[in-house]
């Protein structure tokens, strides 16, 4: 699971809720920490004490949304019978979540140059967190003894990279917003990665 530094901090959650609203309505570029403080009904000092820069606040906000996705995935995939099914539905659910999310797909459309660094060159921690989440699932799914020396991290990372790539550039021979095409693509090209 993505580490949650602010889990027990009600004020931080209040700030992140306000930031989520602020960024979704006005974008990242024009929003200031002061705007977020005002929206949260808190003093600037209180906000700055937890998030010293706007970039810190944006990162914490996106990391929390990422954690919400993992919670949704746990619910959506828990009952599925096979690891293949979980990979396929996990891809479909993640694409829908991210493409439709106001702070991810939404901001990518309206101010790509501001949000892109958080999803690429500065996206290392989120990529690692998502990779570890998937790798954990893949590892628990390994049962045969010959699986023991197989590290699931590269496969998990590939799955995250492919999903992020479709998010960043949906121009594709696959209609990724069509759930059936998205599912068929994942079934044919992503599910077999489990076997590597």
- Which stretches of the chain bind its own copies, using CB under 8 A? 108, 112-114, 116-117, 120-124, 127-128, 131, 151, 153-155, 157-158, 161-162, 164-166, 168-169, 171-174, 185, 188-189, 192-193, 196
CB nearer to its own copies: give 42 or 158: 158
CB nearer to its own copies: give 143 or 196: 196
CB nearer to its own copies: give 7 or 168: 168
Q: How many Cα atoms occupy the beta-carbon half-sphere of 86 within 13 Å? A: 22
Contact 91, 186 (CB under 8 A): yes
Q: At what angle do helices 112-119 and 153-168 cross, to 10 degrees?
A: 180
Nearest distance, CB of residue 11 and its own copies, angstroms: 31
d(CA 61, CA 101): 13
Nearest distance, CB of residue 6 and its own copies, angstroms: 23
Nearest distance, CB of residue 102 and its own copies, angstroms: 17
Joined together, the tokens standing for residue 50 give 């937890």
Nearest distance, CB of residue 104 and its own copies, angstroms: 13
Residue (of 123, 121, 196) closest to 155 by Cα position? 196
Nearest distance, CB of residue 98 and its own copies, angstroms: 14
CB nearer to its own copies: give 31 or 37: 31
Look up tokens 């501001």; give the residue. 114
Look up tokens 């998205």; give the residue. 182
d(CA 93, CA 86): 10
Joined together, the tokens standing for residue 158 give 């590939």
Residue (of 97, 102, 61, 62) closest to 77 by Cα position? 97
CB nearer to its own copies: give 26 or 189: 189
């Amino acid at each position: 699971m993505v580490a949650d530094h602010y889990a027990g901090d009600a004020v931080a959650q209040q700030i992140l809720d306000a930031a989520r609203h602020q960024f979704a309505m006005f974008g990242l570029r024009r929003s200031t920490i002061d705007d977020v403080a005002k929206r949260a009904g808190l003093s600037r000092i209180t906000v700055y004490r937890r998030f010293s820069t706007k970039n810190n606040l944006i990162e914490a906000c996106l990391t929390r949304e990422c954690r919400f996705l993992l919670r949704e995935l746990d619910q959506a995939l828990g009952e599925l019978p096979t690891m293949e099914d979980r990979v396929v539905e996990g891809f479909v659910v993640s694409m829908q979540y991210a493409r439709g999310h106001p702070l991810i797909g939404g901001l990518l459309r309206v101010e790509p140059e501001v949000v892109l660094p958080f999803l690429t060159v500065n996206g290392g921690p989120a990529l690692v967190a998502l990779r570890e989440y998937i790798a954990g699932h893949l590892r628990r799914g390994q049962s045969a003894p010959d699986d023991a020396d197989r590290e699931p991290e590269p496969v998990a990372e590939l799955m995250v990279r492919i999903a992020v790539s479709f998010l960043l550039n949906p121009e594709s021979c696959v209609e990724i917003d069509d759930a059936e095409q998205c599912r068929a693509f994942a079934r044919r090209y992503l599910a077999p990665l489990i076997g590597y």
